[in-house]
């Protein structure tokens, strides 16, 4: 087998929380729509294999949480992205206002942005909201054009509904086409495809006549076996065009060869055809197994990648917590020592004051007693 051609692209879904990113992903992957929304915990990912231009294309979709709680983790999640889907809610102007912040964040982490789809989601809710509060299509288009100019990005604007599925397929198909174009540009010897010019109407008939002339000329072939310029009528005839003759890859004989009619060769060709069919089945089986296993490996690679990021984040948190704990404990020990010293000092002062009070009290009592005795004697 010559090998299985495949491409793989990582797509990041970004945007504020509750704008429908997870619902869009679920709709595209045929996972269904969930009305009870559960906030994404940091990141979630899923994969899908599609056939694009005859090449197996794996899409790994990373659904990045919009909550600020996970902002420190997002930098790692952008790594290796081939495309971005930025989502805002057309009935939530705050999420639209935040869209530029998301792209500035992505640009800061990634540098030049990969192909981008800007999605205005939840269009099914637009009619039930006040006209002045919704984000219009024109505003979305203007925003996309501004992003293309300011960040030098390749972007397409589209409006969707994760509830009805409107334009979900179109959004991802457009992004895949853009990512593949970028992929081709990075290949050695890339030559941009030239668009075929549209012929004027008056030229169409002329071209058709020319094609018919060439076709007729190719069907009539003059064959000469003589060494001079004399050509007999038997040497002129119509032969099968070369392009229509199939050459067998094993016997190297043309498909209409007389030798293939011989009994022994015929049996061998029958066996050969059976083996070819068996080979094709085995190749298809190997391709299917390889595709299944590659899908599992891809999923595991992403799980490992996410777990590694989470582990490193938790390890950093643990190190920070340990340092904070050490500092807090040291501060506690110092404070406790100060407290004890202060309490001892205060207790000594209090004891000294009490002693003075008792001494003065004794003096007062003694003086009172002396005065009483003097009064009695008088």
Q: What pLDDT shows up at residue 20?
A: 92
Residue range 310-329, pLDDT digits in tens: 788 778 878 888 898 999 99
- Better-scored residue on pLDDT, 17 or 40: 17
Give the CATH number of the domain where residue 125 resides.
Answer: 3.40.50.300
| 247 within some domain | no
State yes or no: pLDDT of 28 exceeds 70: yes
Residue range 29-44, pLDDT digits in tens: 887 665 544 455 577 8
Q: What is the DSSP string of 181-211?
A: HHHHHTSTT--PPPPPPPPPHHHHHHHHHHH
Range from 18-27, 46-55, 190-199 that averages highest in pLDDT: 18-27
Give phi and psi for 38, each to the nearest 5: -115, 120
| 122 within some domain | yes
| 55 within some domain | yes
Handedness of CA 135, 104, 20, 48 (dihedral sign): positive
SS3 label, residue 229? coil
| 270 within some domain | no
Strand partners, 44: 63
| 277 within some domain | no
List the alpha helices (DSSP H) in 39-123: 71-77, 93-110
Q: What pLDDT shows up at residue 217?
A: 41
Contact partners, residue 21, CB within 8 Å, separation at least 6: 13, 14, 15, 40, 63, 64, 66, 85, 87
List the alpha helices (DSSP H) in 123-200: 137-150, 168-185
Q: What pLDDT shows up at residue 192?
A: 65
SS3 label, residue 237? strand
Contact, 78 vs 106, CB < 8 A?
yes
Residue 103 structural domain: 6-185
Residue range 191-210, pLDDT digits in tens: 766 544 444 444 445 445 54
Place of tokens 């593949």: 180
| 140 within some domain | yes
| 200 within some domain | no
Q: What pLDDT shows up at residue 333?
A: 92
Reported as a pLDDT band with limits 50, 70 and 90, residue 58 is confident
- Better-scored residue on pLDDT, 348 or 371: 348
Q: What is the mean pLDDT of residues 335-358?
A: 92
| 84 within some domain | yes
Give the chain's domain count. 1
Range from 97-111, 179-193, 199-213, 285-299 that averages highest in pLDDT: 97-111
């Amino acid at each position: 087998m010559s090998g299985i051609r495949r491409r793989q692209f990582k797509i990041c879904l970004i945007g504020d929380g509750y704008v429908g990113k997870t619902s869009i992903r679920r709709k595209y992957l045929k996972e269904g729509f969930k009305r009870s929304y559960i906030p994404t915990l940091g990141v979630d990912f899923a994969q899908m294999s599609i056939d694009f231009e005859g090449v197996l294309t794996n899409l790994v979709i990373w659904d990045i949480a919009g909550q600020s709680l996970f902002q420190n983790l997002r930098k790692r999640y952008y790594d290796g992205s081939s495309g971005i889907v930025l989502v805002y809610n057309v009935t939530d102007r705050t999420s639209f206002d935040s869209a530029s912040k998301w792209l500035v964040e992505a640009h800061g982490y990634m540098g030049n942005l990969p192909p981008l789809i800007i999605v205005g989601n939840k269009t099914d809710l637009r009619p039930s909201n006040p006209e002045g509060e919704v984000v219009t299509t024109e505003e979305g288009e203007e925003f996309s054009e501004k992003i293309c100019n300011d960040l030098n990005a390749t972007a397409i604007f589209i409006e969707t509904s994760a509830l009805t599925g409107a334009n979900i397929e179109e959004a991802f198909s457009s992004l895949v086409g853009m990512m593949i174009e970028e992929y081709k540009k990075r290949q050695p010897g890339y030559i941009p495809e030239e668009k075929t010019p549209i012929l004027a109407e008056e030229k169409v008939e002329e071209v058709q006549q020319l094609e018919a002339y060439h076709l007729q000329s190719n069907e009539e072939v003059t064959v000469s076996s003589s060494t001079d310029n004399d050509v007999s009528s038997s040497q002129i005839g119509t032969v099968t065009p070369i392009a229509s003759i199939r050459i067998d890859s094993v016997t190297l004989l043309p498909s209409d060869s007389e030798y293939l009619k011989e009994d022994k060769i015929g049996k061998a060709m029958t066996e050969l055809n059976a083996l070819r069919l068996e080979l094709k089945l085995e190749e298809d089986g190997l391709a299917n197994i390889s595709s299944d296993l590659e899908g599992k490996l891809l999923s595991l690679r992403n799980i490992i990648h996410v777990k590694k990021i989470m582990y490193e984040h938790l390890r950093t948190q643990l190190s920070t917590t340990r340092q904070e704990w050490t500092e807090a404990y040291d501060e506690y020990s110092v404070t406790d020592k100060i407290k004890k010293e202060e309490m001892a000092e205060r207790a000594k002062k209090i004891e000294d004051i009490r002693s003075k009070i008792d001494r003065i009290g004794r003096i007062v009592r003694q003086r009172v007693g002396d005065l009483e005795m003097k009064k009695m004697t008088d």
